[in-house]
Amino acid sequence: MTRETRPPRAEQQFFDDPAIDRIMGAFMALATEHYVLRDRFLALERGLAQSGSINPAALDQEPDESERAESLADRKAFVEALMRPLLGEQDALGVPGKFSLKTTKSEA
């Protein structure tokens, strides 16, 4: 039996709520991806610096007020997208609350 044809086996569980186990999996996958991108970004910077295309010292300098103001809108949009889900509000109106077919009683 090859790796591909073997039936799946339930993963081990370490947290009281298995959702945390799975979220941690997604979190670590993203962290790995983030580091891969960071590594490539730094390699690009090194290459560009060696070719004289960029001045690394200038890149490392603290941005002045005008540059920070220019990026403010982008920063706000990023924070909005990141944190808006914490409010638990719908973007498109529908039935609220926890959904279950086991009961007709709304738990909202």
What's the half-sphere exposure (Cβ side, CA atoms, 13 Å) at 104? 0
Which two structure tokens, joined as six digits, stand for 62? 């603290």
Cβ 38 to another protein, closest distance in Å? 8
**Per-residue tokens: 88:** 């638990």
- Residue 29 within binding range of another protein, rule CB under 8 A: yes
35 binds another protein (CB under 8 A): yes
Helix (H, G, I), strand (E, B) or coil at 25: helix
In contact, 21 and 11? CB cutoff 8 Å: yes
**Residue whose C-alpha is closest to residue 57's, from 67, 69, 45:** 45
Q: Are 45 and 37 in contact (CB under 8 A)?
A: no
Total number of residues that touch another protein (CB under 8 A): 20
By rule CB under 8 A, what string of x and - marks binding of each residue 54-83 to another protein? Answer: ------------------------------
Contact call for residue 46 and another protein (CB under 8 A): no
Q: Please choose, out of 9-17, 48-56, 79-87, 90-98, the segment that lies near another protein by the rule CB under 8 A.
A: 9-17
- Which residues bind to another protein, rule: CB under 8 A? 2-3, 12, 14-16, 21, 24-25, 28-29, 31-33, 35-36, 38-40, 43
